Amino acid sequence: MKLAEQIKKQATDAGFVCVGITSPEMLRGLPHGWIGNVISLRSPEEELKNVNSVILLGYYAWDKSFNLAVDSNYLEDRKHFTPEVSLERFQLYYEVLKNKAWKIVEYLIKKGHDARLSLNIPLKTSAVKCGIGSQGKNTLLITPKYGPRIRLIAVLTTAILSIDEEFKGNLCGDCKKCISACPTKALEPYKIKINRCLVYAAEQPNSRNVPEDVRKIEQKLTQRPTTNSYVECTICLEACPIGRLSKLKRST
């Protein structure tokens, strides 16, 4: 069994439902640096010297609780930086992803290759290059079986692996349910007005970039189990007919 096939088996055994492999060369030209003053993206080469392969792993987030985020504005370790605020943030799905993906890193290291986890490369567009799915009108990655209900993490490695073909086609078609469902009208086809997104508004509680009408909707709709925690908005995700939980239950 080739190393790429061994890695994919390790990934599925760890609980990942989507696995794709590409090369750093295939990702050149994708957005990096500060994107919309929201997130800083890096190239694979910036993350790992002598990287030869990029492995994208997708985990099925079947429950809203995966989108729980916990903030603290006083701890100094592992800071989350934006132009307006500096704070520590734990997101449940990232903790799950890192825990599971670390097994792939360990496997590659045991095989004699350098490897590390990355959440900093452009994950969604990289996943398209890996053949996992296509970009949706809600700007999320859409997969054929699970729709947008996938969370991504990358493993970068010096191992030279056989790569997968880029995903071709558009899974959205004429559907615009996600656009219609957004309560703040943040979406246009394949574009997002980030300052109208409820996820951004919840992440940036003191931001002056969030319009007043959006802030009122965010305060009304965002679920906050505790003072410092909230569940990210998933309205556009839930509106997508591809991979709804009811359909998945019937197919199993």
Give the per-residue pLDDT at 31: 61
* Mean pLDDT to the nearest integer, 79-92: 55
Half-sphere exposure of 114 (CA within 13 A, CB side): 7
Q: pTM of the entire structure? A: 0.86
pLDDT > 70: percent of the chain = 87
Distance CA 43, CA 27 (A): 8
Q: Which residue has the higher pLDDT, 88 or 191?
A: 191
Residue 152 tokens read as 């991504």
pLDDT band for position 213 (cuts 50, 70, 90): very high
pLDDT of residue 38: 54
Backbone conformation region of residue 190, classed left if phi is above 0, alpha if psi is from -120 to 50, else beta? left
Mean pLDDT of 55-82: 74
Q: What is the mean pLDDT of residues 138-158?
A: 96
Instruction: Provide the H-helix boundaries in 69-176.
Output: 92-110, 123-129
Instruction: Looking at 69-209, list the stretches that DSSP marks H as alpha helix, in order from N- to C-terminal side.
Output: 92-110, 123-129, 177-181, 198-203
- Tell me if 87 sits within 8 A of 69, measured CB to CB: no
Contact between 179 and 189 (Cβ < 8 Å): yes
Contact 93, 59 (CB under 8 A): yes
Structural element, H or E, at residue 4 = helix 3-14
What's residue 170's pLDDT?
A: 93
pLDDT band (50, 70, 90) for residue 248: low
Least confident window among 26-35, 82-91, 100-109, 234-243: 82-91
Q: pLDDT tens digits for 91-106?
A: 888 889 999 999 999 9
- Please determine, for residue 182, whether its predicted confidence score (pLDDT) is greater than 80: yes
- Is residue 175 left, alpha or beta, with left meaning phi > 0 and alpha meaning psi from -120 to 50? beta
Using CA atoms, how far apart are residues 152 and 128, in angstroms rounded to an integer?
12
